[in-house]
Structure 1
Amino acid sequence: MPYIPDSFTAGTTLALSVALTAYPPPEWSLTLLLRGPEQRDLTSSPDGTVHAFAVTAVDTAAWKAGDYWYSLRATDGTEVHELETGTFTVEPDLASVAEGFDGRSHAEKVLEAIEAVIEGRASKDQDSYRINNRELRRTPISQLLKLRDVYRQEVKRARAAKRGRDTLGRQVLARFGRA
């Protein structure tokens, strides 16, 4: 069971509670090592039977947005056990980003660019031409349409995942038992 979320927004309070029967507080403490656009090390505090990580909104407002690699470790002062590793994203704090911020994903930006190329090519019939021994070849419309479909699906899956919907396709209902 993962203890660390997939993403977190800078400028908001980060509060994590981790209950570990094999590594109970206060005999054991947890450290969350973060490496990415910057280095952050968080240490848990015992809160009854759980390990609590708490970082105020004022403190997380200074965190740089981007992808971080993490290691969650338990220690009793002598032994150190790595409990979980992975990546998570620190999303930018919209309260502090500059005008003109573009929060779209890479896939959304690429999809828009592909569609702009298709739209611009609609009135051009040549796929290539040569001037003074320089040649320009354009990507065939058929390949652009295939690429557009790939990115449309990627954007659709990402949006569905953000909304907590199934990303594997359509839902199939089944009933088992006697008729």
Structure 2
Amino acid sequence: MPVSLPEQITAGTTLDLNLTLTAYPAPTWALTVLLRGPFSHDLVATPNGNGHRLSFDAAITATWSAGRYWYSVRVTDGVNVLEVDAGELTIRPDLAAVADGADLRSHARKTLEAIEAVIEKRATKDQERYRINNRELYRTPLADLLALRDRYRREVRNEERARRGESLLGRNVLVRFPNRA
């Protein structure tokens, strides 16, 4: 019975979730979400009718550290403790608290731009390696750089598609089957 937790939470914003677990209704069962990552957070739900409410105001979430977290959603009746869901989520940084000049690009975006900068500078140099006074310099072959660039382009494209909520498997193909009576 998976619980519907968001894939991302933004620090510094209000988190308000109502979780209904028909097999584990409140107040008979208490629900806690354990987050483990850069910091540990134990999110305790309050009963909301038969459901469980996770509600934290912006001042509380502003103290949460950005990063990848693993979560475990647990319920207890005072004797039994059951894990009803587990997974990963991301806490994104609070932009109101980010210092000037912070680089918030993803690893893939930073790497892609670095590879493209090397390829751009390489356009005026044709040596793959050279030696001066017993010191040698080897450059990454252009074919390897192009392959890396393509890999990171795909990764950045997938990040952008995921951010827009699009399929990561490619474009949707609609198919119509004839009616068979």
Bin for the TM-score computed over the shorter chain: over 0.9
Aligned to 1:130: 131
Q: How many residues align?
A: 179
Alignment CA distance shift 1:33-1:178 (3 Å): closer
Cα displacement (A) at 1:170:
2.5
Does residue 118 in structure 1 map to residue 119 in structure 2? yes
Q: Secondary structure at the match of 1:110?
A: helix
Deviation per CA, 1:66-87, whole angstroms, max 9, x where unpaired? 1111111000000000011111
Aligned to 2:104: 103
C-alpha separation in 1, matches of 2:144 and 2:87: 35
Deviation beyond 6 Å, 4+ runs, structure 1: none
C-alpha separation in 2, matches of 1:35 and 1:115: 36
C-alpha separation in 2, matches of 1:171 and 1:71: 33
Is the 8 Å Cα contact of residues 3 and 19 (structure 2) preserved in structure 1?
no
C-alpha separation in 2, matches of 1:2 and 1:171: 27
Q: Secondary structure at the match of 2:31?
A: strand
C-alpha separation in 1, matches of 2:167 and 2:83: 31
C-alpha separation in 2, matches of 1:21 and 1:114: 51
Give the residue type in structure 2 aligned to 1:139: T
Does residue 33 in structure 1 map to residue 34 in structure 2? yes
Q: Secondary structure at the match of 2:173?
A: coil
C-alpha separation in 2, matches of 1:76 and 1:163: 40
Query: Which sits farther off after the overlay, 165-174 or 16-25?
Result: 165-174
Is the 8 Å Cα contact of residues 3 and 84 (structure 2) preserved in structure 1?
no
C-alpha separation in 2, matches of 1:178 and 1:23: 43
Aligned to 1:169: 170
| Identity fraction in percent | 57
Deviation per CA, 1:62-109, whole angstroms, max 9, x where unpaired? 111111111110000000000111111110000111001222111000
Aligned to 2:9: 8
Deviation per CA, 1:33-67, whole angstroms, max 9, x where unpaired? 11111111111111012100111101111111111
Question: Structure 2 length as normaliser, TM-score?
Answer: 0.95
Instruction: List alignment gaps of at least 5 residues for structure 1.
Output: none
Is the 8 Å Cα contact of residues 70 and 86 (structure 2) preserved in structure 1?
yes
C-alpha separation in 1, matches of 2:41 and 2:179: 58
Is the 8 Å Cα contact of residues 129 and 136 (structure 2) preserved in structure 1?
yes
